[in-house]
Amino acid sequence: MNTAGMQREREVEAPNGAANAQRHDLHRVHLDALYGVSQVLSRSLDYRETIREVLRILDESAALGRGLISVLEPDGSLLVQCVHGVHPASLEPPVRYQSGEGVLGFVMEKNRTVILRRVQEERRFSNKMGIYDPLLPFIAAPIKVAGNLQGVLAVQPQSEEEELLEDRAHFLEMIANLIGQSLRLSLQVELEKRSLLEERDLLRRAVRHQHGFDSVVGRSGAMRRVFEQVRLVAKWNTTVLIRGETGTGKELIANAIHYNSPRARGALVKLNCAALPENLLESELFGHERGAFTGAICSRKGRFEQADGGTLFLDEIGEISPAFQAKLLRVLQEGEFERIGGSRSIKADVRIIAATHRDLEAAVDSGDFREDLFYRLNVMPLNLPPLRERLEDVPDICHHLLMKIGDAQKRKLRIADAALCCLARYDWPGNVRELENCLERAAVLSEDGQIDEELIRFPGRERLPAPARAYPEAAPDDMDAAASSERARVIAALEQAGWVQAKAARLLNMTSRQIAYRIQTLKIARKQL
């Protein structure tokens, strides 16, 4: 080969050598950036935080500035989620692209990468945000998941080397694929999280309905006063002492207070103080450390710790021993305690609701209950009336309980008016709990779901006290003659009294409230004179 030919060959090789060197340097830069992107994608499933970091690395490590990521929305549009170097407030209102609109819309429509040598040479480029240099290139690559478009990744190289644009586009497609996999996992996690949150909210609403005011039935004046007190006290963290006979629904009231309070998102932890001996009661309330006693093979949280941020319901508080009363008083006063076998003080933000059927004032007088603990608990007393003092609530309570029993038996239960009258004449020493047992027993005996008077049984008593208890012998003879049924007795008394309810009540040895209830349940049309 002559000298001139060799010179021309060297002139051709020199540019090719320089281009190869540039490409080699670019590949090294891309490799470093790819490593940084992979680290970011492996750290978090919060894709909003992740894409911001990815765009930062593309700018600082690979000279691909003004990085933009848009995500496909359910309505089919592309929503710009993040732009590197642009404050999020600049994206208000949100920037969207429809299919075929601008370069991003073109990428969405064709599902392939677009390379622009110069922005100003492409009439389709809309530059909605006005942040791109018209003299520099622009690359946009689709973000795919299993071949389906999920978004678009776009960048603007900060140099004009046209011969390297294909390499940059190939690198950008690799990054888009990595983002696609991260986006898929993030969307799955977000979808599952949203589903769990919806299920949680649904369960909260169900629990609030189940344990709210609807679960405590009563329209009598006594119960209306209780409901009003519950609504008032539920808003605050005040300690509540619920008092009433066994079976009056003290636990239901505690539920209603908690689930209608600001602590409803926290736990409602319950403990029956009468169900455990003193040594186990202390462990249940305060917890224990490993090895604190025989059988303590691991540390365990007590009910106070479990109720942190919520409510602790201490049922039958009047049954605890004087020794344990002193320990409980310290916790209520200081707001902190130690686990059994531990030395570290533990603080817990707990609201206390206590309940008892005992006469605590008498227990204080006899020395069985500490006076200081009584005053600590008796901040807001709620007194629940026994069922015998609100017999007008019996029909509503019966219908509520029959729905509950019917759900358990998976059938519809009905009760006759005569059975309701029979139940309303009983004094209910066991209160609502005894009434529920009575109805469940009658439901078991009923084959067709109809509860008639003959199915009402009161164990321990041969029969219900005769109506004569309410209507003494001093009642008029003509009323006794007409009294073939409860309805006939009431109507006869009303006729005798000229349909003045107060007089009829005196004839029947009833109160005005009781006879008004009888008129309502027996569906007696009131006669106006």
List, in order, residues 6 or more apart from 430 with CB less than 8 Å away.
246, 247, 437
**Residue 431 included in any domain:** yes
**Residue 158 included in any domain:** yes
Rounded (10°) CA dihedral 397, 400, 402, 404: -130
Residues 352 and 226 in one domain: yes
Residues 409 and 472 in one domain: no
Please give the Cα distance from 298 to 104 (Å, whole number).
59
Residues 381 and 437 in one domain: no
**Residue 489 included in any domain:** yes
Contact 505, 514 (CB under 8 A): yes
Residues 344 and 491 in one domain: no
Residues 87 and 138 in one domain: yes
Residues 479 and 392 in one domain: no
Residues 94 and 149 in one domain: yes
Residues 259 and 367 in one domain: yes
Please give the Cα distance from 464 to 432 (Å, whole number).
17
Kindly state the tokens that stand for 16: 């090719």
**Amino acid type, 278:** E
Question: Tokens 């365990």 correspond to what residue?
Answer: 300
Contact 315, 219 (CB under 8 A): no
DSSP characters over 107-127: HHHHTS-EEES-GGG-TT---
Number of neighbours of residue 32 by Cβ within 10 angstroms: 13
Secondary structure of 318-356 in the HEC alphabet? Answer: HHCCHHHHHHHHHHHHHCEEECECCCCEEECCCEEEEEE
Rounded (10°) CA dihedral 307, 313, 316, 319: 30
Domain with 509, as residue range(s), is 467-521
Select from 335, 352, 385 the last residue of a domain: 385
Number of domains in the chain: 4
**Residue 526 included in any domain:** no
Helices marked H in 75-164 — which ranges?
102-110
* Cα dihedral 381, 382, 384, 385 sign: positive
**Residue 14 included in any domain:** no
Residues 484 and 513 in one domain: yes
Give pLDDT, residue 526.
64
Domain CATH for 304? 3.40.50.300
**Residue 15 included in any domain:** no
**Residue 109 included in any domain:** yes
| Per-residue CA distances from 118 to 130, 167, 211, 491 (Å) | 15, 16, 67, 100
List, in order, residues 6 or more apart from 200 with CB less than 8 Å away.
none
Please give the Cα distance from 135 to 67 (Å, whole number).
17
Domain CATH for 401? 1.10.8.60
**Residue 48 included in any domain:** yes
Angle (CA) 194 198 204, round 5°: 145
Angle (CA) 259 263 269, round 5°: 75
Angle (CA) 467 469 473, round 5°: 95
Angle (CA) 328 332 334, round 5°: 110
Please give the Cα distance from 264 to 256 (Å, whole number).
10
Domain CATH for 157? 3.30.450.40
Strand partners, 345: 338
Give pLDDT, residue 527.
59
Contact 182, 47 (CB under 8 A): yes
| Per-residue CA distances from 130 to 92, 125, 528 (Å) | 14, 11, 84
Contact 309, 267 (CB under 8 A): yes
Select from 385, 420, 436 the last residue of a domain: 385
Helices marked H in 212-286 — which ranges?
221-234, 250-259, 278-286
Kindly state the tokens that stand for 241: 């002492």
Select from 385, 412, 436 the last residue of a domain: 385
Please give the Cα distance from 143 to 177 (Å, whole number).
6
Number of neighbours of residue 277 by Cβ within 10 angstroms: 8
Contact 476, 507 (CB under 8 A): yes
- The one-digit pLDDT tens for each residue of the chain (529 residues) are 444 444 444 444 445 666 677 787 888 888 888 888 888 887 766 777 888 889 999 999 888 989 999 988 888 888 888 898 877 766 778 888 998 898 999 999 999 999 999 988 888 888 888 889 889 999 999 998 878 888 999 999 988 777 788 989 999 999 998 888 777 777 777 778 878 877 776 766 666 666 666 667 888 888 889 999 999 999 999 999 999 999 998 999 999 999 889 998 889 999 999 888 887 888 889 888 887 777 777 888 889 999 999 999 999 999 998 888 998 998 888 888 888 888 888 888 999 999 999 999 999 999 999 999 999 999 999 999 999 889 889 999 999 999 999 999 999 999 998 888 889 888 898 899 999 999 999 999 999 999 998 898 887 654 444 443 333 333 344 333 333 357 777 887 887 887 888 888 888 877 777 787 778 777 787 655 4
Please give the Cα distance from 21 to 27 (Å, whole number).
10
Please give the Cα distance from 301 to 287 (Å, whole number).
5
| Per-residue CA distances from 156 to 108, 117, 120, 135, 187 (Å) | 18, 10, 13, 10, 27
Please give the Cα distance from 31 to 26 (Å, whole number).
9
Burial of residue 362 (CB within 10 Å: 0-12, 13-18, 19+) is exposed
Contact 153, 41 (CB under 8 A): no
Please give the Cα distance from 190 to 169 (Å, whole number).
30
Residues 222 and 366 in one domain: yes
Residues 233 and 342 in one domain: yes
Question: Tokens 């029947």 correspond to what residue?
Answer: 508
Residues 363 and 378 in one domain: yes
Burial of residue 33 (CB within 10 Å: 0-12, 13-18, 19+) is buried
* Cα dihedral 433, 439, 443, 449 sign: negative
Please give the Cα distance from 217 to 234 (Å, whole number).
18
List, in order, residues 6 or more apart from 403 with CB less than 8 Å away.
413
List, in order, residues 6 or more apart from 258 with CB less than 8 Å away.
211, 234, 264, 268, 310, 311, 313, 351, 353
Please give the Cα distance from 339 to 77 (Å, whole number).
58
